[in-house]
Structure 1
Amino acid sequence: MEVNSDSESVPRVPENESAEAAVDFETAVSATGYGLFNVLLLMASIPAGWTTVFDTSTTAFIMPSAECELDLSLFRKGLLAASTYAGMICIAVVWGFIADHIGRKYLLLFGLISDAICNVFGSAAQSYYVYLSFKFASGIIVGGPYAILMTYIAEFHGECHRSRVLMWTGSLFALGNVAVPALSRAVLPQTWSFSLFNNSLIFDSWRIFLLICALPPFLGFVTMWSFPESPKFLMTKGKSEEALKVFRRMYSMNTGKPEDAYPVKVLRIETVGKPQTPLEPVDRSSRDGLRRSFCPTKFLLPTPYLFPLFIINVIIFASMTGMQVMKSWLPQLIVILNNFDPEESEDSPIVPTICEKLNVQAIETFGTQAALALGNTTVTCISMIVSTAVYTNATIIAASAVTSSFLVGIIVNKVGKKSILLVSLVSGGLCYLGLNFSPSTTIFLILCSAIIALTGISTNAITSMIIEVVPTTLRATAVSVTLMTGRFGALTGNLLFPILLNVSCDAPFYYIGGFLMLCFVLATFLSKYSGKLS
């Protein structure tokens, strides 16, 4: 990313305004330019942004290793994978309300350090329900910092840089999807182990992996500590002098000039919502504020927004279901296929399907009580054989998915969001439907990689299309509702996957694949609304 500290690139205060004239936020932040401060903020936000990725992804990689110790049945695995999303859904709106009242920075720091502590204690959990509780608590905690972080970063950039910076931010955060499997490849195959409190707490490799995964929120807490409160928030709270100090610091770091050279001298106090009269207090009751935070939602319900928003929410529900289910269960599926004994099918002229392979090893790979089937009455669970290829394949798949998203971001303006959405939905649906017909494990993994990439692309595409069907005053609310729907899709998908897998191996693949194909049909109706409602 290019750092430009040239003074010519710094927007000037309009000449028709005196040096003492009060200016609004956009004018003030644009006058700070773009340079060292902005780049440092972006770099410092990376570990904080990776926190959500780590919290929602690590469970997928420890499930094969922790199966016996935590007594993980199929449904327990699904519940564990869904628990973080359940926590995020429970309190997401409350996080936003609190951030709008007490500030971005300190709430972000509180969330990060709390999540780090929660992850440390979770790594020491010796039972399934204790670990499940910590994962749920982690979801409650981490649901806020991610949304706060994106808002925090946006409020340090002028309009001319904001979109590009948020695009770069999202791309850098997406690299966390590669970091998790890469870290699991380095740690989980090891035989590391140590104990504490006279062997009361035993840390083997998968617990050490969870302990290391507590580093991103802790590092995010450390790196974000030195940055100031959002100047936009300070201005909305009437703290113009504090906001001015922040702008001066930004200006000095970006241009290399002294803070006194910053051209803006007076800031205009900004308010959120309707203008306040002298008789109205700036700070109203928390109960009224929380009630008002839900009010914009009702304006989304009447026509002409109801049907297009219904389509958007159905699509993101399906896309997030398809993406998060595959991400959560991919390591488990790879382990199952790696444990399949090819000698069992050598004499058969028919190549076994993927589902036949899964069913052959269902008891040994998922279950418990496998030892009893072998006549062993002392051991009730046999650990699965987890090769390093599991983590290597997961790393390659994650890297290919992130790369695909980058490439689509480059061509999106040429081909259009609608075309990308339609292609990704129908292609993702076909890939899901074709999983059971994969002639080999390699083809299966290629299809899994395509599914993660395509469903991720469709999620980003449909989120960005909200701009075309919802007016500016309702877009923030619409995005919040849509993301909530997507998280609910991830939650229900992870709960339904093991249930459907117990019914029939084909069932979850056909359910998600058919759902994505239905969304392809629904997406064709969005064209009649694009650009007409904003």
Structure 2
Amino acid sequence: MTPTTLEGFGKYNYLILIVSLMASLAQQLSISAISYILPSAECELQLSPEDKGTLNATGYIGMILSAYVWGFLSDTVGRRRLLVFGYLFDGVCNLTGSFAQSYWFLFAFKLLNGVIMCGPLSVQRTYEAEFHSVKYRGKQMMLAGIFMSLANIVIPGIAWLILPLEWSITVFDRKIPISSWRLFMALSSVPSFTTACLIYKCMESPRFLMASDQNDEALKTFKIIYSHNTGNNPDMYAIRCISNQIHPSQPPISSINFKKGLLSIMKICWQQAKPLFIPPHSKNTAVTFMMQFTTLYGFNTLRLWLPQMLTSVQEHLSQQEMTHSSPVIKSICEILQITMSTNVTEDISEAEAHCVSKTADNTVYVNSMMVGIAQGIAFLFAACSISIVGKKTIMGKYLIYFHT
């Protein structure tokens, strides 16, 4: 019997699931909100198609730059502390980015947002899983996937309520305009702040405490979770002492001399990561990296461009109806090229040329929600069948089937 098995499953685990739900919404808003904003912000920020593509990718650039550091910090300062500060600063970045007056201002804050969000993205699921026993861990991870799908349904719903609104006010002595897309971006910071508050009320991962040689604190955490789940007195917890069964994966923060500089810290990081790139782990590392890359590439490429593509298709169909021209089948690339080139129109003379702000049709949001629903059904089916067919089958056959 392991400590997590003896703590049972109850109120505290449900609290972790609520945290997982809010964290999923915060993560998806941090990544996906920009894709819904771009069509509405195109004129105000004078965005070209290349600018839009760069802004969609900027967050991921920040994640790549900071991933290694976050992995080191998660095993050094702790999961809970990293998550609280990560979500807190993510909310600040989203809120500040809503006041962007230029492409480069928004670019800078989306880059910073990616650097910060990489920590919670990489640590959140580990933090959640370490509170569950092996019996419930697989289902909990599948529920986390369902929560991500639910977030992909809620986000276009929120965008549908806010972005079509045609209003604008100015603040700070009429220097900064506030329009619907800025309000949407500002509201995307609320789940991040909420998640930071929820995790602050939770406890540190007991596994991290054991790995950091803080066995007394780990035992105290197990007792509190046991009491929440069962309603019994914490002293009734069956385990009285925890021995060092987990070898520290990282030196505790108190033993690291930060005064030695960044080079010393990077050396420690490399020492911890080096075994991944040499036999016998190198093969598994390569397979894992390839799986992650292809899955995220296939999923995120379509998801981030979906609102822009649907908006352009709808605009192209509307133009054909207005001109009473016969429908011509075109590729999505041709439609994007046509709608981008006609975004600047000429009424009487070139001097009166102006940018036409695009308002997405209702079908854009409905179709985005349908994609999220389909994804949620896939995750729900996987969650129900994982105990029957096994994790490997879910990761292999089902993943290939549902992504095709």
TM-score bin (small chain)? 0.7 to 0.9
Give me the whole-angstrom Cα distance separating, in 2, the residues matched to 1:249 and 1:216.
Answer: 27
Q: Is 1:144 the counterpart of 2:144 in the alignment?
A: no
Aligned partner (choices 145, 151, 158) of residue 170 of structure 1: 145
Q: Is 1:293 the counterpart of 2:272 in the alignment?
A: yes
Mapped contact 2:142–2:383 kept (Cα < 8 A)? no
Mapped contact 1:45–1:223 kept (Cα < 8 A)? no
**Matched residue of 2:351: which SS?**
coil
Matching residue's letter, 1:299: I
Alignment-derived partner of residue 454 in structure 1 = 403
Q: Is 1:400 the counterpart of 2:379 in the alignment?
A: no
TM-score calculated relative to the size of structure 2: 0.87
Give me the whole-angstrom Cα distance separating, in 2, the residues matched to 1:315 and 1:238.
Answer: 33
| Alpha-carbon offset, residue 297 of structure 1 | 2.3
The number of aligned residues is 390
Task: Indicate how the Cα distance of structure 1 residues 296 and 175 shifts in structure 2: closer, same or farther if over 3 A, else same.
Answer: farther
Mapped contact 2:142–2:379 kept (Cα < 8 A)? no
Aligned partner (choices 179, 192, 195) of residue 170 of structure 2: 195
Give me the whole-angstrom Cα distance separating, in 2, the residues matched to 1:305 and 1:238.
Answer: 29
Task: Indicate how the Cα distance of structure 1 residues 233 and 421 shifts in structure 2: closer, same or farther if over 3 A, else same.
Answer: closer
**Matched residue of 2:177: which SS?**
strand
Alignment-derived partner of residue 336 in structure 1 = 312
**Greater Cα radius of gyration, structure 1 or 2:** 1
Matching residue's letter, 2:320: P
**Matched residue of 1:266: which SS?**
coil
Matching residue's letter, 2:355: C
Mapped contact 1:116–1:218 kept (Cα < 8 A)? yes
Please list every run of 5 or more consecutive structure 1 residues that lacks an aligned counterpart in the other structure: 1-10, 12-26, 425-452, 456-534
Alignment-derived partner of residue 114 in structure 1 = 89
Identity %: 30
| Alpha-carbon offset, residue 406 of structure 1 | 2.6
Greater length-normalized contact order (CA 8 Å, ≥ 6 residues apart): 2
**Matched residue of 1:203: which SS?**
strand
TM-score calculated relative to the size of structure 1: 0.67
Give me the whole-angstrom Cα distance separating, in 1, the residues matched to 2:297 and 2:282.
Answer: 24
Task: Indicate how the Cα distance of structure 1 residues 375 and 122 shifts in structure 2: closer, same or farther if over 3 A, else same.
Answer: same
Matching residue's letter, 1:296: P
Task: Indicate how the Cα distance of structure 1 residues 117 and 454 shifts in structure 2: closer, same or farther if over 3 A, else same.
Answer: same
Aligned partner (choices 389, 401, 421) of residue 363 of structure 2: 389
Give me the whole-angstrom Cα distance separating, in 2, the residues matched to 1:196 and 1:228.
Answer: 41
| Alpha-carbon offset, residue 334 of structure 1 | 1.4
Alignment-derived partner of residue 247 in structure 2 = 272
| Alpha-carbon offset, residue 55 of structure 1 | 1.3
Task: Indicate how the Cα distance of structure 1 residues 127 and 389 shifts in structure 2: closer, same or farther if over 3 A, else same.
Answer: same
Matching residue's letter, 2:204: E
Please list every run of 5 or more consecutive structure 2 residues that lacks an aligned counterpart in the other structure: 258-264
| Alpha-carbon offset, residue 46 of structure 1 | 1.8
Q: Is 1:326 the counterpart of 2:298 in the alignment?
A: no
Mapped contact 2:58–2:110 kept (Cα < 8 A)? yes
Task: Indicate how the Cα distance of structure 1 residues 400 and 70 shifts in structure 2: closer, same or farther if over 3 A, else same.
Answer: same
Q: Is 1:283 the counterpart of 2:258 in the alignment?
A: no
Alignment-derived partner of residue 436 in structure 1 = none
Q: Is 1:364 the counterpart of 2:342 in the alignment?
A: yes
| Alpha-carbon offset, residue 192 of structure 1 | 4.0
Matches within 5 A, 1:481-520: none
Task: Indicate how the Cα distance of structure 1 residues 204 and 249 shifts in structure 2: closer, same or farther if over 3 A, else same.
Answer: same
Alignment-derived partner of residue 529 in structure 1 = none
Matching residue's letter, 2:330: T
Q: Is 1:73 the counterpart of 2:48 in the alignment?
A: yes
Give me the whole-angstrom Cα distance separating, in 1, the residues matched to 2:159 and 2:347.
Answer: 31
Matches within 5 A, 1:411-450: 414=389, 416-417=393-394, 418-422=396-400, 424=401
Aligned partner (choices 224, 229, 248) of residue 254 of structure 1: 229
Mapped contact 1:339–1:385 kept (Cα < 8 A)? no
Matching residue's letter, 1:93: Y
Mapped contact 1:371–1:377 kept (Cα < 8 A)? no
Give me the whole-angstrom Cα distance separating, in 2, the residues matched to 1:216 and 1:64.
Answer: 23
Aligned partner (choices 339, 345, 351) of residue 377 of structure 1: 351
**Matched residue of 2:178: which SS?**
strand
Mapped contact 1:195–1:203 kept (Cα < 8 A)? yes
Mapped contact 1:45–1:224 kept (Cα < 8 A)? no
Give me the whole-angstrom Cα distance separating, in 2, the residues matched to 1:321 and 1:30.
Answer: 37
Task: Indicate how the Cα distance of structure 1 residues 344 and 309 shifts in structure 2: closer, same or farther if over 3 A, else same.
Answer: farther
Aligned Cα root-mean-square deviation (Å)? 2.9
